[in-house]
Structure 1
Amino acid sequence: MEKTPSYFVTREAPRRVHAMNRHTRLIVVVRDPVTRAVSDYAQTLSKTPGLPSFQALAFKNTTTSSSSSSSSSSSTPTLPWGLVDTSWSAVRIGVYAKHLEAWLRYFPLRRFLFVSGERLVSDPAGEMGRVQDFLGLKRVVGAKHFYFNQTKGFPCLKKPEGSSRPRCLGKSKGRTHPPIPQGALQRLREFYRPFNLKFYQMTGQDFGWD
């Protein structure tokens, strides 16, 4: 078993994985693409002081007038944030339907398990049960192996009896996200909505992102 986030979005990866083993089972963990983009930005910001604002990176020809969207009475929504910049990797990665299309050229849907990142936090045992079933494994990891870390905001994995400390996410995880204008987040939700719906149809799962 091996994992890396870049596999799903790398153009050459489906062909190369298929050439290695066409029977490979593929587990894809996805989360709300807007939340994921902000998380990606927060991680980069922690390593790159002085980074431009999230909205400056996420949109082309950004204007900062937040009042224009709220004051408009037209049935056509105004776009004060400009066009979404899909050349920015934090935005591009969240177009899951497009990336999945590339993988489905090489692997049938039955070779995939799509894990909800949100449910992995709220119900880790349930999602891990699905993973074990998908891999044809006996269900060994269950509810008793998890507890919620209030400080991090994520579950921790309890090690087997006799082991030392539980395994929690590292220092780089669970960081506070920078404040992002609500108008910018809403504009991104509008951008992702059709792609999310297509992804739901392709996978047969409704992840509830809006």
Structure 2
Amino acid sequence: MLSLWVYMIYCCVGYCSTVPNLTYGSIKRHAHDAEVDRQGSASAGASRDLLNNENEGVDSRAEEWEESRGEATDNNNNNNAMSGFLNESESKRLPQAIIIGVKKGGTRALLEFLRLHPDIRAVGAEPHFFDRNYDKGLDWYRELMPKSSEGQLTMEKTPSYYVTKEVPARIYTMSKDTKLIVVVRDPDFLGLRRVVTEKYFHFNPTKGFPCLKRPEGNSKPHCLGKTKGRTHPSIDPEVVQTLRDFYKPFNRKFYHMTGQDFGWD
């Protein structure tokens, strides 16, 4: 009987040695699979439905992403096309009008007033091309100008042009049609449509003079620098009369040139 038990144990051991060695994880997976099989086809079908629903959700999100990417691409293409169109329609041009003077005559204020107009594009800093940088050439000068579209007027201002003898001939060489602006009274010969009105100005009580603003924008009013708006000194009436007598013949010559009597006498 004992021999029989030993033989049976020996057979079991020999048999088991022919079965592949299973790790704990494999045993666990087999047990899980067995449990799934035991639950039946209904449970398996529910799992497949859940998986299908998840896949449908992923596919739906993927389609939405593709559509949004396509729309974004179209928008980018449209924006790029529009940007390209605007860039092609805008270019840097030599100025068609230049404020040449006079010094301390309100040329900065005039330039800032004009820049409020949508048909005006002007460089802010004084280029000093025709008096100090003429040797750098017109290409250098053009690069200083802002981009403008067809129909817009490009401008700059350098008051020292007024007292530099070479400037008139140099500007004429660039273009005989360039308009020269000297601050006298009413710079109304640029042919601009009326746009700038009282709503473009905001009185600053601290400075004592109006600052500029754009009614359609939300930015703060733009005021001129600290050196602007200074109180005029008191001048002896005899000095004033002496100056009037000195400039009287020049004023009359100017009236004749412009065809307008400003009544400064």
- TM-score, reference length from structure 2: 0.37
- TM-score, reference length from structure 1: 0.46
Kindly indicate whether structure 1 or structure 2 has the higher relative contact order, using CA contacts under 8 Å at least 6 residues apart: 1
- Which has the larger Rg? 2
